[in-house]
């Protein structure tokens, strides 16, 4: 029958951000990653802070370590992130003027993407370019590059990345574009504006990354997410989920109840994307509640531990893992 002849459906790869220290120290962590992931991404190991101890040095220790782990276990590694306002080493504050900034940006991207040419198939080129509260012409987040180069820094970054490895999926990655509310909507629209502008100028951009640090207290804007993804698709721009977790500081104390809300939000979100154009990958920002950035920023008032990730602190799967598995 035709059904029997059809090629098996391609599954959407699942992956996780990885902490280099835990990868060495915690055997159960390694085991969980190997069991569940087809993709990994360093949580901090490829940020400027880690890569650029000084202006003339590049330190690829963390990136190489994770890439070796990925290779050994048949996984792919994503790159995060070439340009971001945060995690910049102090020496970069002395970069001044358009020419110097462009030189520094180009050198960084050329060297880092070049180092992993043919081995990292997808890079976050730009992270968090959109203003916290975009309004009118004030829609980009201030950073070193915007101040010195103007908004063209974004296009330049994409061009340098494509030159360094023409086969890589080049991604613009953004947060707070998933939920119901005016701010989320404005941020989606600002991001669309950036992508459209890049497209109009024939810049090489291939996908938008939804960071997907979902704020559990808000519903997913299913309609807003679907139409956003559809508009991107019309421009031939894909989407992926890059840093999924559910921020649960304002969710119920009862763990069972909380886990259900979390899984429900993620189901709504992944369905809303898939209705318009399925994501090319789904990655969570960590795999176990044992290692998560969430409590550092979103501590619960009742003192109970956050539960933002698919496995609990003892590596037991939660409803969130099942929700993700239905899409991967």
For the question of residue 243 being annotated catalytic, the response is: yes
DSSP character string of 265-317: HHHHHHHHHHHHS--S-EEES-SBTTS-SHHHHS--TT-PPP--SSB-TTS-B
Q: Which is nearer to ligand XIL, 243 or 312 (CB)?
A: 243
Return the SS3 of 145.
Answer: helix
Size of the site for ligand XIL (CB under 6 A): 7
- Phi, psi (5° rounding) for residue 132? -50, -50
Backbone φ and ψ of 310, nearest 5°: -65, -30
Count Cβ atoms within 10 A of the Cβ of residue 276 and give its class: 0-12 exposed, 13-18 middle, 19 or more buried: middle
Residue placing its CB nearer to ligand XIL in the complex, 43 or 62: 43
Q: Which is nearer to ligand XIL, 44 or 264 (CB)?
A: 44
Nearer to ligand XIL, 247 or 323 (CB): 247
Q: To the nearest whole angstrom, how small is the minimum distance from the Cβ of residue 294 to ligand XIL?
A: 9
Assess contact for 13 and 240: CB atoms under 8 A.
Answer: no
Binding to ligand XIL (CB under 6 A) within 62-81 occurs at none
44 binds ligand XIL (CB under 6 A): yes
Residue 147 annotated to the active site: no
Residue 124 beta carbon to ligand XIL: minimum distance, rounded to whole angstroms: 8
Beta bridge partners of 214: 246
Place of tokens 């951000």: 17
Q: Which of 16, 38, 186, 211 binds ligand XIL (CB under 6 A)?
A: 211
**Minimum distance, C-beta of residue 287 to ligand XIL, in the bound complex (Å):** 13
Q: Which of residues 151-180 bind ligand XIL (CB under 6 A)?
A: 175
Active-site residue (options: 62, 102, 128, 178): 128
Q: Which of residues 274-293 bind ligand XIL (CB under 6 A)?
A: 293
Distance of CA 51 to the CA centre of its chain: 18
Q: Is 124 left (phi over 0), alpha (psi -120 to 50) or beta?
A: beta
**Helix-helix angle 153-164:182-200, to 10 degrees:** 60
Residue 101 tokens, joined: 């900034």
Extract the tokens encoding 36: 């569940």
| Shortest spacing between CB 197 and ligand XIL, in angstroms | 22
DSSP type of residue 37: -
In a 10 Å sphere around its CB, with 0-12 CB exposed, 13-18 middle and 19+ buried, how is residue 215 labelled? buried
Stretch 109-128 residues interacting with ligand XIL (CB under 6 A)? 127
Catalytic residue among 43, 62, 174, 243: 243
Nearer to ligand XIL, 102 or 144 (CB): 144
Compute the least distance from the CB of residue 44 to ligand XIL, in Å.
Answer: 6
Cβ at position 86, least distance to ligand XIL in Å: 7
| Residue list 233-252, contact with ligand XIL (CB under 6 A) | 243
Give the integer Cα–Cα distance in Å for 328 and 312: 20
Nearer to ligand XIL, 85 or 260 (CB): 85
Question: Among residues 45 and 319, whose Cβ is nearest to ligand XIL?
Answer: 45
Q: 3-state DSSP call for residue 25?
A: helix
Q: What's the DSSP call for residue 92?
A: G
Positions marked catalytic:
128, 243
- Which residue ranges make up the site for ligand XIL (CB under 6 A)? 43-44, 127, 175, 211, 243, 293
């Amino acid at each position: 029958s035709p059904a029997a002849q059809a090629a098996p459906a391609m599954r959407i790869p699942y992956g996780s951000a990885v902490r280099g220290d835990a990868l060495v120290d915690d055997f159960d962590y390694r085991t969980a990653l190997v069991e569940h992931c087809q993709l990994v991404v360093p949580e901090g190991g490829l940020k400027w802070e880690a890569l650029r101890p000084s202006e003339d040095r590049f330190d690829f220790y963390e990136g190489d370590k994770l890439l070796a782990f990925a290779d050994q276990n048949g996984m792919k590694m994503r790159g995060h992130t070439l340009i971001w306002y945060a995690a910049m080493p102090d020496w970069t504050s002395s970069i001044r003027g358009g020419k110097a900034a462009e030189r520094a940006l180009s050198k960084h991207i050329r060297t880092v993407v070049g180092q992993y040419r043919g081995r990292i198939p997808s890079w976050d080129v730009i992270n968090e370019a959109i203003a916290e509260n975009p309004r009118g012409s004030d829609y980009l987040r201030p950073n070193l590059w915007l101040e010195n180069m103007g908004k063209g820094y974004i296009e330049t970054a994409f061009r340098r990345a494509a030159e360094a490895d023409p086969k890589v999926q080049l991604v613009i990655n953004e947060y707070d574009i998933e939920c119901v509310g005016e701010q989320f909507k404005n941020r989606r629209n600002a991001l669309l504006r950036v992508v459209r502008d890049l497209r109009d100028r024939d810049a090489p951009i291939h996908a938008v990354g939804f960071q997907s640090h979902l704020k559990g207290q808000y519903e997913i804007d299913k309609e807003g997410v679907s139409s956003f993804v559809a508009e991107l698709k019309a421009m031939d721009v894909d989407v992926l989920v890059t840093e999924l977790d559910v921020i649960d500081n304002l969710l119920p104390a009862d763990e069972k109840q909380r886990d259900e809300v979390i899984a429900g939000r993620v189901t709504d979100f992944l369905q809303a994307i898939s209705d318009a154009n399925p994501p090319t990958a789904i990655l969570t920002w960590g795999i176990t509640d044992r290692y998560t950035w969430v409590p550092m920023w979103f501590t619960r008032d009742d003192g109970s531990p956050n539960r933002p990730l698919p496995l609990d602190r003892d590596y037991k799967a939660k409803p969130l893992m099942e929700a993700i598995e239905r899409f991967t």
